[in-house]
């Protein structure tokens, strides 16, 4: 057991808060760092979260808490940071002299990249091991207090870690600043050990922290990366006034002169060619305005006013600085840093032309969900929202580089169902899928349309919906790759538990808490997805939801600490009732309300079960003697919840409330069984 000397730099309360802060800060840092550098987990950031939960759970479940591995955490963390840095790559670009188009190729390291079924398990195990060593420090301090007092301090530290990392991300500060925060916390936690004597372990820890800072410094200063709240951004000049914008190593946008864009990418002007000659462009909306190329074209075509919506402020700033046509300096342009779907729900403007402009975000909504930032734009409801903002003769257009023809057909059929006639279709490139433009109007006769899309009557043409917003998923099922990957993770989780000393018996002893962890993770996911739909998939919305959830946990702890005793039967009844209401009332039903009413209703429907669930957990947790084992069981349950989240790919998100209800009912039933068993044993004695 850890004994803190009277002259220690930190008392035990501060040590628990600080070690919890470090644990959460590192978890969030690894999510950003790994997904920004290792392209193979770019769309699998949930696996990093699952690995983190598993590692933290193992740290609390260790049979022998006195053999802490916290001293290894700086070394393990440095190895992960270095591996991800060496694995990173950026696309390079050159002009194809024959076609005038851009050819992309990657750096030497990607050509030697390991297959995903090597990289994913390697990183998974490395993150589990690192987070387990970090949680050892939390678990050791956790044991010094009563269960509820320790839980309160741990939540305070975790909440502080999220707030600090969110603040640094909001300021778009680089990994070097992240590293400085981590090193500062380590200095405080290790000070009492380091001041006693110089040891090999101490030198290894200090060396590891210096190496980690060096890697972060190289990434920050040498590579000139911009760290927005969504991406690691790198800009490369390839021709006069022309730049390729790489996000997380992938080429996402091109900044180039207007004349060059129109010459080598004629699909950008196709929507204008389908308009009547005298079509007015009094008001134009560009969603996915990026670095301003689409806005510049609209202005050149005579737009009197353009609303430019872009979710990432860093991309907007790059366009303002580097776009030679200076579209964002034009007084006819109004810029909105917002999610496109959220903007459509907030504005009352009507438009002559609405453009969905290459809105492939290449990023997931932060948190345990499989939804990308742009998914809600392309659902049946999202495209209908755009149609509602068109003037009677207004025109709507989508263009993108569709890697598969079926995806373009799905969008075409969605437009066909909304407007009750087929859109114009223009395709360029090999196999008609290099670039595709879909253009449509409420007034079918207002379009000059040489080629219209014809329905193929295939299952994959069915529109995506707000309940099932997975526009890039061809069928409503769990793909075989995910099944294999999730099975692999389940096996790795089991063997990690066994090999790292996790007490599996504790999970059985606290099985109701294990089930609560599973259900709460799904409840958290549903909350994040719901708020993304209602208020936008922006980084700010998601950060506030996570902070709100943790704040609810803290409030529940304080309520339980100040109340003699809650009746768990009544609390479970209220929880099941609130979940039933959340299942009966889909979040999409709130979209028709004004923003303030929508926010109030969403908060009541979403956070009522969250608060009640945490009251139940805090009340149950307060009576437990082996608090670290109980919390570990709860965290391992969260790992199972993270795996179950992928069931949304098959069933959608509306039924999550029912699944959560069932799991909490099982937890309640198990609690009744345990209490009945205890009463029986007492009576027999």
pLDDT band at 120 (very low <50, low <70, confident <90, very high): confident
Give dist(CA 265, CA 154) in Å, integer: 55
pLDDT tier at 64, thresholds 50, 70, 90: low
Residues 306, 331 contacting (CB under 8 angstroms): no
More confident residue, 633 or 220: 633
Residues 507 and 454 in one domain: no
Instruction: Identify the domain boundary among 461, 486, 507.
Output: 461
Range among 85-94, 106-115, 446-455, 574-583 rated most confident: 574-583
Please check whether residues 50 and 109 belong to one and the same domain.
yes
Q: Do both 349 and 422 map to the same domain?
A: yes
Reference 618, options 671, 670, 666, 553; nearest CA is 553
Nearest partner of 153 among 274, 255, 312, 16, judged by Cα: 16
Neighbouring-strand partners of residue 625? none
User: Are residues 273 and 144 part of one domain?
Assistant: no
pLDDT-based confidence at 522, cuts 50/70/90? Answer: very high
Cα 501 from Cα 453, distance rounded (Å)? 60
Which residues are CB-contacts of 458 (< 8 A; sequence separation ≥ 6)? 406, 409
Q: Do 272 and 169 share a structural domain?
A: no
Sign of the torsion formed by the C-alpha atoms of 15, 21, 27 and 32 = negative
Neighbours of 475 (CB within 10 A): 12
- The pLDDT value recorded for residue 113 is 53
Of 432, 461, 490, which residue sits at a domain end? 461
Please give the biggest Cα pair distance in the chain.
94
The backbone torsions φ and ψ at residue 496, rounded to the nearest 5 degrees and listed phi first, read -65, -45
Domain membership of residue 368 (yes or no) is no
pLDDT tens-digit series, residues 228-274: 888 888 888 888 888 888 888 777 888 999 998 888 888 889 899 88
Helix (H) or strand (E) run with residue 391 in it: strand 390-400
**Sequence-ordered list of residues with C-beta below 8 angstroms from that of 253, at least 6 positions apart, any chain:** 244, 245, 290, 291, 293, 315, 358
Which residues, including other chains, have CB under 8 Å from residue 95's CB and lie 6 or more apart?
101, 102, 103, 238, 239
Q: Report the C-alpha gap between 59 and 133 in whole angstroms.
A: 7
User: What mean pLDDT is predicted for residues 404-418?
Assistant: 86
Which of helix, strand or coil describes residue 111? helix
If asked whether residues 27 and 107 sit together in one domain, one would say yes
Task: Report pLDDT digits (tens) over 318-341.
Answer: 999 999 999 999 999 999 999 999
Evaluated on CA atoms 308, 381, 476, 528, the torsion sign reads: positive
Are both 168 and 33 inside the same structural domain?
A: yes
End-to-end CA distance of the chain: 35
Residue 254 in domain: no
The backbone torsions φ and ψ at residue 672, rounded to the nearest 5 degrees and listed phi first, read -60, -40
Burial degree of 118 (CB within 10 A; 0-12, 13-18, 19+): exposed
Q: Which residues contact 294 (CB under 8 A, 6 or more apart)?
A: 268, 286, 288, 355, 357, 358
Neighbours of 280 (CB within 10 A): 15
What does the pLDDT read at residue 649?
87
Alpha-carbon distances of 227 from 231, 247, 291, 641, 656, rounded to whole Å: 6, 9, 16, 30, 34
**Residue 21 and residue 161 share a domain:** yes
Task: Flag whether pLDDT at 549 surpasses 60.
Answer: yes
Helices (H) and strands (E) in the chain, counts: 24, 13
User: Do 351 and 311 share a structural domain?
Assistant: yes
| 8 Å CB contact between 388 and 322 | no
Question: How many domains are contained in the chain?
Answer: 2
What residue has token string 């372990």? 201
Any domain includes 345: yes
Residue 371 placed within a domain? no
Q: What is the pLDDT of residues 449-466, one digit of tens each?
A: 888 888 877 767 889 999
pLDDT band at 676 (very low <50, low <70, confident <90, very high): low
The answer for residues whose C-beta is within 8 angstroms of residue 351's C-beta and 6 or more apart is: 283, 284, 285, 307, 389, 390, 391, 394
pLDDT over threshold 90, residue 210: yes
Q: Of 427, 461, 495, at which residue does a domain stop? A: 461
Residue 398 lies in a domain: yes
Note whether 373 and 365 are within 8 A (CB): yes
Please give the angle made by the CA atoms of 198, 200 and 205, to the nearest 5 degrees: 90
Q: Is residue 171 part of a domain?
A: yes
Residue 97 has pLDDT above 50, yes or no: no
Would you say residue 48 has pLDDT above 50?
yes
Q: Is residue 240 part of a domain?
A: no
Q: In this structure, is residue 249 part of a structural domain?
A: no
CATH number at residue 184: 1.20.1250
Q: What is the pLDDT of residue 111?
A: 44
Token pair for 37: 């550098």
Cα gap 613→665, rounded to integer Å? 12
For residue 367, the model assigns a pLDDT of 61
Range of the domain at 400: 260-362+380-461
Q: Which residue has the tokens 């109030």?
A: 600
Q: pTM for the whole thing?
A: 0.89
Q: pLDDT (tens digit, 9 = 90+) per residue, 474-499?
A: 888 888 878 888 888 888 888 888 87
Query: Cα–Cα distance between 486 and 377 in angstroms, integer?
Result: 28
CATH number of the domain where residue 426 is located = 3.40.50.150
User: Within this chain, do residues 331 and 205 fall inside the same structural domain, yes or no?
Assistant: no
Q: Other C-beta atoms within 10 Å of 364: how many? A: 21
In a shared domain, residues 440 and 486: no
* Residues whose CB falls within 8 Å of the CB of residue 500, separated by 6 or more in sequence, listed in order: 58, 62, 128, 129, 132
Same domain, 548 and 447: no
């Amino acid at each position: 057991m850890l004994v803190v000397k009277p002259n220690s730099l930190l008392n035990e309360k501060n040590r628990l808060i600080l070690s919890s802060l470090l644990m959460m800060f590192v978890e969030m840092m690894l999510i950003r760092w790994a997904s920004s550098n290792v392209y193979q987990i770019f769309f699998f950031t949930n696996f990093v979260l699952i690995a983190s939960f598993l590692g933290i759970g193992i740290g609390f479940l260790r049979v022998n808490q006195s053999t802490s591995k916290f001293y290894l955490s700086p070394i393990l963390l440095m190895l992960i940071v270095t591996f991800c840095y060496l694995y990173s790559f950026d696309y390079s670009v050159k002009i194809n002299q024959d076609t005038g188009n851009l050819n992309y190729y990657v750096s030497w390291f990607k050509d030697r990249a390991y297959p995903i079924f090597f990289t994913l398990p390697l990183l998974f195990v490395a993150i589990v091991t690192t987070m387990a060593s970090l949680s050892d420090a939390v678990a050791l301090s956790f044991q010094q207090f009563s269960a509820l007092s320790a839980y309160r301090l741990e939540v305070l530290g975790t909440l502080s870690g999220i707030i600090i990392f969110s603040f640094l991300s909001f300021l778009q500060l680089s990994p070097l600043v992240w590293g400085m925060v981590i090193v500062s916390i380590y200095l405080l936690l290790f000070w009492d050990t380091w001041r006693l004597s110089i040891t090999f372990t101490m030198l290894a820890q200090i060396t590891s922290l210096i190496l980690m800072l060096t890697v972060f410094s190289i990434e920050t200063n040498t590579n000139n990366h911009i760290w927005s709240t969504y991406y690691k951004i790198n800009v490369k000049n390839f021709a006069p006034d022309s730049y390729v914008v790489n996000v997380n190593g992938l080429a996402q946008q091109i900044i180039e002169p207007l004349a060059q864009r129109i010459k080598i990418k004629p699909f950008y002007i196709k929507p204008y060619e389908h308009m009547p000659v005298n079509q007015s462009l009094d008001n134009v909306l560009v969603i996915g305005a990026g670095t301003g190329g689409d806005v510049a074209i609209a202005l050149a075509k005579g737009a009197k006013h353009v609303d430019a919506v872009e979710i990432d402020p860093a991309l907007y700033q790059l366009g303002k600085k580097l776009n030679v046509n200076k579209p964002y300096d034009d007084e006819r342009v109004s810029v909105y840093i917002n999610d496109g779907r959220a903007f459509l729900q907030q504005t009352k403007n009507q438009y002559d032309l609405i453009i969905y402009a290459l809105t492939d975000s290449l990023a997931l909504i932060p948190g345990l969900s499989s939804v990308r930032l742009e998914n809600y734009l392309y659902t049946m409801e999202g495209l209908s929202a755009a149609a509602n903002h068109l003037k009677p003769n207004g025109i709507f257009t989508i263009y993108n580089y569709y890697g598969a023809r079926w995806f373009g057909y799905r969008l075409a059929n969605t437009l066909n169902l909304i407007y009750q006639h087929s859109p114009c279709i223009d395709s360029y490139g090999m196999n008609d899928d290099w670039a595709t433009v879909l253009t449509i109007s409420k007034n079918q006769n207002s379009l000059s349309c040489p080629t219209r899309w014809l329905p193929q009557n295939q299952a994959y043409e069915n529109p995506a919906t707000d309940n099932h917003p997975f526009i890039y998923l061809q069928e409503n099922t769990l793909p075989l790759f995910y099944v294999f990957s999730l099975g692999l993770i389940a096996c790795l989780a089991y063997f990690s538990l066994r090999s790292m000393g996790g007490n599996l018996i504790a999970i059985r002893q606290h099985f109701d808490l294990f089930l609560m962890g599973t259900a709460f993770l799904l409840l958290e996911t549903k909350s994040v997805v719901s708020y993304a739909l209602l208020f936008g998939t922006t980084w700010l919305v998601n950060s506030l939801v996570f902070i709100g959830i943790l704040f609810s946990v803290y409030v529940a702890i304080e309520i339980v600490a100040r109340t003699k005793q809650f009746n768990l039967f009544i609390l479970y009844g209220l929880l099941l009732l609130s979940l039933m209401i959340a299942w009966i009332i889909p979040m999409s039903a709130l979209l028709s309300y004004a923003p303030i009413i929508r926010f109030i209703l969403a908060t009541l429907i979403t956070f009522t079960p969250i608060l009640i669930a945490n009251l139940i957990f805090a009340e149950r947790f307060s009576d437990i003697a082996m608090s670290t084992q109980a919390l570990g069981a709860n965290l391992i349950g969260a790992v199972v919840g993270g795996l179950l989240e992928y069931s949304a790919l098959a069933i959608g998100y509306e039924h999550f409330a029912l699944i959560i209800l069932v799991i909490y009912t099982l937890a309640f039933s198990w609690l009744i069984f345990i209490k009945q068993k205890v009463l029986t044993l007492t009576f027999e004695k």
